[in-house]
A and B are shown apart, each in its own frame.
Chain A
């Protein structure tokens, strides 16, 4: 078991390295002069040269990478071109709304998707199954912002249940905080719930056809014990895996959702940064989100040990 744990942790490092490489490469290997891109369409050759010098873009590529990587590892993500503030500070300021949204959404997503998948598998091939899966696919087929606007139209405009936009920090009251997060979480949750529900259903179906389920039934166990202790416990590994994938999609969806609901989080930050071609910010956000995803996957892999005793021994 410890070998497994150690190997998984070590395997993370090259992935993080590649991520850093990719993020670096995007800016530098693109057609066009990075300095000109950063300077913008209306810059003079003088300004471009100035930027090139300031950001060290005239040094050889590998040297730039090493320097950049070095500053990364020491916690320096560069300075925002637009606002002249350290990227790290900008990220820190915007972190709370994004984290709130991500966590509430993950909870909504899992609490909705897993039971739906379990019930769909339990009543496979009935109308419940077909209805549930079709609904799930529907959520997955609409672009996130359309789901967002549908929810806003229905629950914020037509019936004034929730606020249309905005975010209230936690310290200003948990009620208002939650109230503003309902629609955004639902939006994201509904969109990605499909994936989790489908895999849950598939995994459960696979498990329910196994011999040990027949044994459990022959003991006289009721549906609750059957489905949870015996079926779900064995179906857990693929389900937890797909929840990890769901969170990755979530991190991308956060960008759009914050944009639609005017939530001042990291997603909004990166959208603004695109419009202003603020590369240090874009790089910083990419690194943070990717890093979170990689660490999350690691945690899930480590969690497998708890789920499946066969790995332990």
Chain B
């Protein structure tokens, strides 16, 4: 079923204009999201994945940040340059986001029930009582027991995992079409992580919400999404269905990411190998790179890679795209 995608991001450029120069946090990012799909965006800290997601909702701090180019079309409607009142009607209503830090993302002096009821009253015009009833339903939905009593409690009385569930309840209250989850489990204990991820998967199925899951943690991505984008230095370097990506990565950076995940192998025959790390560092976002942004750290890099233009995103296999001149040999890249 090849319907028009729900969200189309086309050559998005979000730059930050600071005293120290222009930081090109997102520099030509394109992807799409289909209805009911879960898309993962993976990359190391600073690669622009969060900024890209925040740009969709216009939540990037506008001085010093600015969307300088590209388009974001949601249901055919252009979001870049949309006026603020129209944007507010979309936030929390048609597109929602949950953030990384549940401990500090809730208003400490407002009961959690009211925080869930707010978007309901605002976007759906519900009365206070109706909104609170729906809030209680949401608490049930996110599997928080004793919903009615929880409504009047304050965030500091709740645990981190519970707070993140509340964040999810707030985000899904108005049944948005898209949920953006920006590192939702990074700040949580491992056991709680698993619970939250399972909850997200269940909710995604129950509500048919499309999800963009952002993480630097490959394990989280592997178990929760259908399709993955790998980002590096503000650009997309690889895109594939999740199984294909893990089975056969086609960009040296992805290979490096996968190789740097520790593997637990049992038995005496377990290979004793070093954890491979990718040498070098992310390029400074303020200095535009002529060719491939990854060339400086890549053992496969040739002169072609270092000169403009940067390698285009080519379909290397069905539905599997990579931006590398040497994509077929990606797995030969040497690290460590």
Please give me the residue from chain A that is nearest to B101 by CB atom. Answer: A211
Q: Whole-angstrom distance between the alpha carbons of A36 and B318 in the complex?
A: 106
Q: A221-B118, A222-B88 are in contact. Are A216 and B107 (CB under 8 A)?
A: yes
Question: Which residues from chain B contact A303 at a C-beta distance below 8 Å?
Answer: none
- Binary interface profile of B, 99-111, with partner A (CB < 8 Å = 1, else 0)? 1010011111110
Is residue A3 contacting chain B, with contact meaning CB distance below 8 A? no
Do A313 and B157 touch (CB < 8 A)?
yes
- Nearest CB of A to B135, in Å: 13
Question: Which residues from chain A contact B106 at a C-beta distance below 8 Å?
Answer: 212, 215
Q: A233-B110, A309-B109 are in contact. Are A220 and B119 (CB under 8 A)?
A: yes
Chain A contact surface mostly? helix
Is residue B142 contacting chain A, with contact meaning CB distance below 8 A? no
Do A218 and B107 touch (CB < 8 A)?
no
Please give me the residue from chain B that is nearest to A233 by CB atom. Answer: B109
Task: Please pick, from A214, A220, A225, the residue contacting B89 in the complex, using a CB distance under 8 A.
Answer: A220
Q: A310-B156, A313-B154, A313-B157 are in contact. Are A218 and B59 (CB under 8 A)?
A: yes
Q: How large is the interface on A (under 10, 10 to 19, 20 to 34, 35 or more residues)?
A: 20 to 34
- Nearest CB of A to B235, in Å: 25
Is residue A217 contacting chain B, with contact meaning CB distance below 8 A? yes
Do A309 and B107 touch (CB < 8 A)?
no
Q: Whole-angstrom distance between the alpha carbons of A233 and B154 in the complex?
A: 14
A-B pairs under 8 A by CB, number = 79
Do B109 and A219 touch (CB < 8 A)?
no
Task: Please pick, from B89, B96, B156, the residue contacting A218 in the complex, using a CB distance under 8 A.
Answer: B96
Is residue A241 contacting chain B, with contact meaning CB distance below 8 A? no
Question: Which residues from chain A contact B110 at a C-beta distance below 8 Å?
Answer: 229-230, 233
Do A307 and B91 touch (CB < 8 A)?
no
Q: Whole-angstrom distance between the alpha carbons of A216 and B154 in the complex?
A: 16
Query: Which residues from 198 to 251 on chain A have a C-beta closer than 8 Å to any C-beta of chain B?
Result: 210-212, 214-222, 225, 229-230, 233-234
Task: Please pick, from B91, B101, B123, B157, the residue contacting A217 in the complex, using a CB distance under 8 A.
Answer: B91
Do A217 and B59 touch (CB < 8 A)?
yes
Do B92 and A219 touch (CB < 8 A)?
yes
- Nearest CB of A to B51, in Å: 13
Q: Whole-angstrom distance between the alpha carbons of A309 and B123 in the complex?
A: 28
Is residue A308 contacting chain B, with contact meaning CB distance below 8 A? yes
Question: Which residues from chain A contact B85 at a C-beta distance below 8 Å?
Answer: 222
Is residue B231 contacting chain A, with contact meaning CB distance below 8 A? no
Do A220 and B107 touch (CB < 8 A)?
no
- Nearest CB of B to A185, in Å: 31
Query: Which residues from 86 to 135 on chain B have a C-beta closer than 8 Å to any C-beta of chain A?
Result: 87-93, 96-97, 99, 101, 104-110, 118-119, 122-123
Is residue B79 contacting chain A, with contact meaning CB distance below 8 A? no
Is residue B257 contacting chain A, with contact meaning CB distance below 8 A? no
Q: Whole-angstrom distance between the alpha carbons of A308 and B154 in the complex?
A: 10
Question: Which residues from chain B contact A217 at a C-beta distance below 8 Å?
Answer: 59, 91
- Nearest CB of B to A12, in Å: 26
Q: A211-B99, A313-B156 are in contact. List 13 more A-B contacts (CB 8 A).
A: A215-B105, A216-B107, A219-B118, A220-B93, A221-B88, A221-B122, A222-B88, A229-B107, A233-B107, A309-B109, A309-B154, A310-B108, A310-B154
Listed from nearest, the 9 A-B pairs whose CB atoms lie closest are: A220-B91, A219-B92, A220-B92, A211-B104, A220-B88, A212-B107, A211-B105, A219-B119, A215-B105
| A interface with B by C-beta (< 8 Å) | 210-212, 214-222, 225, 229-230, 233-234, 307-310, 313
| B interface with A by C-beta (< 8 Å) | 57, 59, 85, 87-93, 96-97, 99, 101, 104-110, 118-119, 122-123, 154, 156-157, 167, 170
